[in-house]
Amino acid sequence: MKTILRLVALLVFSSLILVAQQKSDYANVQLFQTKAQSISKNMDKANSVQECAELNASVDALEKEFADDKTLLNKAIFPDGYDRTIEHLRGKLLVRQKDLGFIESQVVRITELETTVRGLSDQVKKLNMQNDKLLADIQMLTQNVQKLTGDLFNAATPLDSLHNMIVKLRQGLQDRDALIFALTDSLFLQYDKNVSDMKDVEKQGLLGKIERHNIVGNVKRSIMENVTFLETTQLKGSDLVTLVRQQKRFQSQWTGIAPKLTSIYMSGKARKYEVSSVDSMLAVWGDKVDDAMWRSLNTLFKEKGFFVKEFKNGEEFSANFITFLSEQIQNLNEETNDTRFKLFTNFHENLWLTDLNATWLPALTELNKISDTQRKEIEAKVEKWRSIVSPGASWLIYVLVLLGVLLIPILAIRLFPKAPKTPKETSST
């Protein structure tokens, strides 16, 4: 009895699998036919090189998407099947291009750009999902760390999994930012002309693609996620400097495309506002990374045990740091030479070489937070502090004094030799 029940169960299960497979096959056939019909209808309405190139890329994408179902489609769709459907679409497009008088090489070039656009757009979507998951996981783990330690996560926290996630997310954000601007550039390249030289119909076509690929939405999303990442992780040192550089690079790239997008969006006030709102969001992001940078640098001095008056910008940093160095050079606290030498050694080995001269000063100069002149003045002050407290300098003075004492009699003898004895003095002897 048990054996019969098992056989019945197996048959029922197999039947369910077969039915599910048939439904899946039927759905794939229907989807292929629907997409092919949509492409064919759009070919009848195509009036520009860009539209023909986009349809060409659509045929390529259809062929690639259903390549694994080729055998099924050839059997299920009569009389054309998979192969002849693709062949008919390509032939119809060629006829349409000839009717419109378009050169094949021009269509091929734009098709390549359209294929690139689609690939970049898919990558942006994948990174959006990946970054969202990583950011959610990081926020959850960071909250757990805060509950256990009473402090937010920073780069020194000994949690490898959390740190690895942060590194991965930071790279993911950078990659996604680069893809967004590469995608935008590829869209504009399809038209091979300045926006001001485009016809209204071309502008409308480009506007449709910009909105379809959600260019402005992705830019805004990227800014918001970068701000959230900055506030969640509380990074320091070189990690934070990397984020500052990323913000400046993003802003520079946006400055390059914003006028083009504004020109394309001229047809609607709401759309123009979408572009201008990005500028406001970028300003907020810039203020936040700057605040985090100066806060981190102020904290660095305190953690290393050096009192430098707090600063909030490059001018204050340069002035206050130089004041600190000048005070050490002048020895206002009248400390002993041994104490001063130990203080400088601590500063030089644990702050100057490891952080300031290695990371912060080059970054602040590169980001135009301080001038090259200010950086050189700081370096000169540090060198002067070293020369004053260095024991080698004191020993050199002692050696020079001793040599002077020894050399004076010798020089005196050589420069002022004794007068020769007279004959009288000689005979008396």
Shared domain check, 95 and 191: no
Neighbours of 48 (CB within 10 A): 16
Residue 369 in any domain: the answer is yes
CA dihedral 364, 367, 370, 372 (to 10 degrees): 90
Share of the chain above pLDDT 90, in %: 50
Where does the pLDDT of residue 194 fall: very low under 50, low under 70, confident under 90, or very high at 90 and above? Answer: confident
Q: Which of 38-42, 237-241, 389-393 has the lowest mean pLDDT?
A: 389-393
Is residue 309 over pLDDT 70? yes
Nearest to 61, CA basis, from 90, 100, 94, 22: 90
Shared domain check, 289 and 332: no
**pTM for this predicted structure:** 0.75
pLDDT, residue 144, reads 72
Is residue 365 over pLDDT 80? yes
Shared domain check, 322 and 190: no
Q: What is the pLDDT of residues 120-178, one digit of tens each?
A: 999 999 999 999 999 998 888 877 766 665 555 454 444 577 888 888 999 999 999 99
Tell me what the mean pLDDT of segment 285-300 comes to: 94
Can you tell me the distance from the alpha carbon of 71 to that of 60, in angstroms, rounded to the nearest whole number?
A: 18
Q: Judge whether 131 and 137 are in contact, CB under 8 Å.
A: no
Shared domain check, 157 and 185: yes
Q: Is 139 exposed, middle or buried (0-12, 13-18, 19+ CB in 10 A)?
A: middle
Nearest to 290, CA basis, from 369, 208, 362, 219: 369
Shared domain check, 274 and 226: yes
pLDDT, residue 393, reads 46
Residue 305 in any domain: the answer is no
Point out the domain boundary residue: 100, 124, 157: 100
Residue 426 in any domain: the answer is no
pLDDT, residue 156, reads 47
| Collapsed DSSP state (helix, strand, coil) of residue 192 | coil
pLDDT, residue 426, reads 47
Shared domain check, 221 and 149: yes
State how many domains the chain has: 3
Tell me what the mean pLDDT of segment 349-356 comes to: 95
Task: Please enumerate in sequence order all residues whose Cβ is within 8 A of that of 221, keeping only pairs 6 or more positions apart, or say none.
Answer: 128
Shared domain check, 314 and 282: no
Shared domain check, 120 and 62: no
Is residue 255 over pLDDT 90? yes
Range of the domain at 388: 310-392
Shared domain check, 197 and 62: no
Residue 9 in any domain: the answer is no
Is residue 22 over pLDDT 60? no
Point out the domain boundary residue: 100, 135, 161: 100
Residue 404 in any domain: the answer is no
Shared domain check, 256 and 142: yes
pLDDT, residue 10, reads 52
pLDDT, residue 216, reads 94
Shared domain check, 329 and 286: no
Average pLDDT, the chain: 84
Residue 127 in any domain: the answer is yes
Shared domain check, 50 and 132: no
